């Protein structure tokens, strides 16, 4: 697996579009056998360049529980050298600096899609978004200069990055993420598709938070944890990163370095109310409909 990752990382570090595309395909090919059953993974690998293919069903948690490839993948992700999420985010940063064109936009979309998958397979990698650099990257991708498809994919990536990780939400708030998303929502130039995604994101943001994913000492019995429900999977895995602060972020207000505490719906309603007038209506809808099962987990 290290040899395959090395080849993929070499291509991802390139400034050449075709090489980056090849690196993304190599990462996808590496993850496919982990996520799919052996027969489906083989079929997926043989037709990986077919963009019209329907995605096969993924493995169950029970299958992951007994999968040595998943254990090997997870172990490698705990170290800096082989962490896929960080390589993908660095690739996103370079792609964003190249400007907007059709081929580059497709590469950004593919990278965002893979980032979501890697974060779901290895939740401890989410701690990367407690860093100003990577949270700012997502906020930059939300800007109107990017196409609606990229904005929508970025919002989904942001949701994945924030689930069960309050320190990331605090970084998002400290970097004026709420101002960014509400400004885009209120802009007349924002497409209807993106506005719908923004409403969904705001509902998600207003949910009360669960504590952060536990640290390394919670990883001692992974087979037992993998038998938990999918919604609890992120909390089952231990984190490997350090406590990161979003100090000196975008127009940060105050000098508080606390980044790992949780907020209630009322807390976040007050913060969002600084930028949006109809937050009370959103909270009423949230209370009545109880999306996400009533809790973010």
- Residues 191-233: tens digit of each pLDDT: 999 999 999 999 999 998 877 655 444 444 333 333 333 333 3
Number of Cβ within 10 Å of residue 13's Cβ equals 14
Q: Which residues are CB-neighbours of 75 under 8 A, at least 6 positions away? A: none
pLDDT higher than 70, residue 285: yes
Phi-psi region of 129 (alpha: psi -120 to 50; beta: other; left: phi over 0): alpha
Name the residue among 182, 115, 196, 189 with its Cα closest to residue 146: 189
In our burial notation (b when 16+ CB lie closer than 10 A, e otherwise), range 226-238 reads beeeeeebbbbbb
- Residues 14-28: tens digit of each pLDDT: 999 999 999 999 999
* Per-residue confidence (pLDDT) for residue 44, from 0 to 100: 52
Number of Cβ within 10 Å of residue 16's Cβ equals 9
The pair of structure tokens assigned to 125 is 């990698």
Average pLDDT (287-295) is 59
DSSP secondary structure code for residue 242 in this structure: -
- Residues 241-265: tens digit of each pLDDT: 333 333 333 333 333 444 558 899 8
* Per-residue confidence (pLDDT) for residue 57, from 0 to 100: 60
Average pLDDT (41-66) is 56
* Per-residue confidence (pLDDT) for residue 290, from 0 to 100: 59
φ/ψ of residue 51, rounded to 5 = -70, -15
* Per-residue confidence (pLDDT) for residue 227, from 0 to 100: 34
Least confident piece of the model among 66-75, 97-106, 203-212, 216-225: 216-225
- Residues 120-172: tens digit of each pLDDT: 989 999 999 999 999 999 999 999 999 999 999 999 999 999 999 999 999 99
Q: Which residues are CB-neighbours of 251 under 8 A, at least 6 positions away? A: 176
Mean pLDDT score across all residues of the chain: 78
* Per-residue confidence (pLDDT) for residue 98, from 0 to 100: 87
CA 13, distance to chain mean position in Å, is: 20
Q: Is the pTM of this model over 0.85?
A: no
Give percent of the chain with pLDDT exceeding 70: 71
The pair of structure tokens assigned to 154 is 């970025």
Pairwise CA distance, residues 48 & 42, whole Å:
10
């Amino acid at each position: 697996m290290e040899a395959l990752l090395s080849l993929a990382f070499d291509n991802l570090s390139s400034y050449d579009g075709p090489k980056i595309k090849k690196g993304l395909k190599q990462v996808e090919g590496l993850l496919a056998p982990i996520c799919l059953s052996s027969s489906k993974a083989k079929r997926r690998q043989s037709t990986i360049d077919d963009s019209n293919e329907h995605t096969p069903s993924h493995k169950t948690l029970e299958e992951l529980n007994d999968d040595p490839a998943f254990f090997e993948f997870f172990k490698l992700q705990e170290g800096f050298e082989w962490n896929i999420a960080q390589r993908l985010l660095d690739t996103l940063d370079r792609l964003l600096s190249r400007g907007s064109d059709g081929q580059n936009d497709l590469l950004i979309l593919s990278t965002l899609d893979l980032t979501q998958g890697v974060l779901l397979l290895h939740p401890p990698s989410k701690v990367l978004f407690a860093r100003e650099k990577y949270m700012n990257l997502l906020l930059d991708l939300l800007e109107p200069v990017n196409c609606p498809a990229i904005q929508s994919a970025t919002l989904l990536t942001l949701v994945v990055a924030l689930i069960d990780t309050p320190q990331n939400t605090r970084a998002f708030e400290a970097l004026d993420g709420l101002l960014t998303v509400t400004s885009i929502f209120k802009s007349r130039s924002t497409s209807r598709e993106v506005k719908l995604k923004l409403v969904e994101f705001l509902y998600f943001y207003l949910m009360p938070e669960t504590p952060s994913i536990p640290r390394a000492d919670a990883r001692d019995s992974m087979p037992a944890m993998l038998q938990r429900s999918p919604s609890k999977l992120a909390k089952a895995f231990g984190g490997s990163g350090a406590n990161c602060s979003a100090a000196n972020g975008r127009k940060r207000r105050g000098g508080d370095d606390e980044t790992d505490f949780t907020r209630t719906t009322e807390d976040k309603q007050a913060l969002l109310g600084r930028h949006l007038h109809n937050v009370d209506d959103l909270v009423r809808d949230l209370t009545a409909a109880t999306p996400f099962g009533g809790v973010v987990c």
